[in-house]
Amino acid sequence: MANEPSAAHRQRHAQRMNALLDHIDRHLDQTLELSSLAERMHFSPFHFHRVFAAWMGETLGDYLRHRRLDVSALMLAQPEPRSVLEVALTVGFGSSEAFARAFKLRFGQTPSAWRLDSPQRWARELAHSREQQALRHRPPQALLSNLDQTERNLDQADATCAEEDTGSCFTSESQMHISLQQLPPTRVAYLRHIGPYGQRVHKFWMNTVLPWRQAQGLEQRACYGIGHDDPSLAAPEQCRYDACVEVDADFIARSPASIQDLPGGRYAVAQFRGSLADFSHAWTELLRGWLPSSGMQIDGRPVFEHYPPGADYDPTTGIFSCELCLPVKAS
């Protein structure tokens, strides 16, 4: 019993910090002074500075800087014809010069060079992901006989994967079953995980989210997973993931849950069936393979996975099903 107040305090603190991070994301084009954010959190500036650094592992100034630059890097990689100055102003920099200096310090190249290199960079990421996927699905004897090869025939890898008939291979665009759909807005309650994606998120779902969902009587409701950060840009320990459950409009979220609304609109929806090891590759195929050749671009709405009620999950094999939902608009 003595631990309950402490646990409840940590949960309320987590809610407040999550709300602050969401507020920052919605207002990156504004000044976001420490004093005003501290007032929003009902802390003195001195204490807020320490609390934020303890929670995120970096100062508020460092967090704002890398968050703005990460968002700008995603914007610059899109085919939308925005100038570097427009991107700089959108993420809160006062001039293209200051933006270019900060961008080069973080990514090692200028914003213009990053934009020009994006198609090649995406192609490299896709090729590496396909190579790793081929290795995972190659028979052990073939794997041992090819360890010394640095270049692999991806077409052969696709054929090998298709022959397995496991439903978990995503080495070519044609196997992803992508459709454009108009999705409705959805109100969700969510719990947030901050840290590396992958296995830790899976454990978060199993050990924290599903027991909470059951206790709230929401077992038959659809679930969603929102990855707020691009793991190719953000540090693993700073990646934010929201595990969400659909709720009614009058649902009252109590600690540790919070409420948000998933915006509706046009999405590219890819059907996924596979293991956790296949999951990252499927997203890479969608973002780095399908998207550049689709004539569309991603917009500012959240990217998420959708788990319909009764979605398949085999605890023995780890195979599960969901939909990968990418918000898109015409280029």
Residues 196 and 223 in one domain: yes
Residues 178-192 have pLDDT tens digits of: 999 999 999 999 999
Per-range mean pLDDT, top range of 17-26, 53-62, 169-178, 200-209: 200-209
Whether the pLDDT of residue 140 is over 70: the answer is: no
Residues 201 and 295 in one domain: yes
- Which of 168, 188, 205 terminates a domain? The answer is 168
What one-character DSSP code corresponds to residue 287?
A: I
Q: Among 20-34, 146-160, 214-228, 256-270, where is mean pLDDT lowest?
A: 146-160
Q: What is the CB neighbour count within 10 angstroms for residue 89? A: 16
- Predicted local confidence at residue 5, as pLDDT: 53
Q: Is 181 left (phi over 0), alpha (psi -120 to 50) or beta?
A: beta
Whether the pLDDT of residue 274 is over 90: the answer is: yes
The number of domains in the chain is 3
- What share of the chain in percent tops pLDDT 90? 60
90 vs 88: CA distance, rounded Å: 5
Look at 105 and 151; give whichever has higher pLDDT: 105
Tell whether 30 is covered by a domain: yes
Look at 10 and 27; give whichever has higher pLDDT: 27
Tell whether 113 is covered by a domain: no
Tell me which residue of 33, 38, 36 sits closest to 16, measured CA to CA: 38
Boundaries of domain holding 295: 179-330
Tell whether 204 is covered by a domain: yes
Tell whether 174 is covered by a domain: no
Instruction: State the CATH number of the domain containing residue 314.
Output: 3.20.80.10
The encoded tokens of residue 245 equal 């459950």
- What share of the chain in percent tops pLDDT 70? 87
- Predicted local confidence at residue 284, as pLDDT: 93
Whether the pLDDT of residue 145 is over 70: the answer is: no
CA distance from start to end of the chain: 57
- Predicted local confidence at residue 331, as pLDDT: 75
Total-model pTM: 0.82
Residues 80-89 have pLDDT tens digits of: 778 999 999 9
Residues 15-40 have pLDDT tens digits of: 888 889 999 999 999 989 999 998 88
Whether the pLDDT of residue 10 is over 70: the answer is: yes
Instruction: State the CATH number of the domain containing residue 62.
Output: 1.10.10.60
Instruction: Print burial letters for 39-70: b (CB count within 10 Å at least 16), e (below 16).
Output: eebebeeeebbebbeebbebebeebbbbbbbb
Confidence of residue 194 (pLDDT cuts 50, 70, 90): very high
Residues 85 and 151 in one domain: no
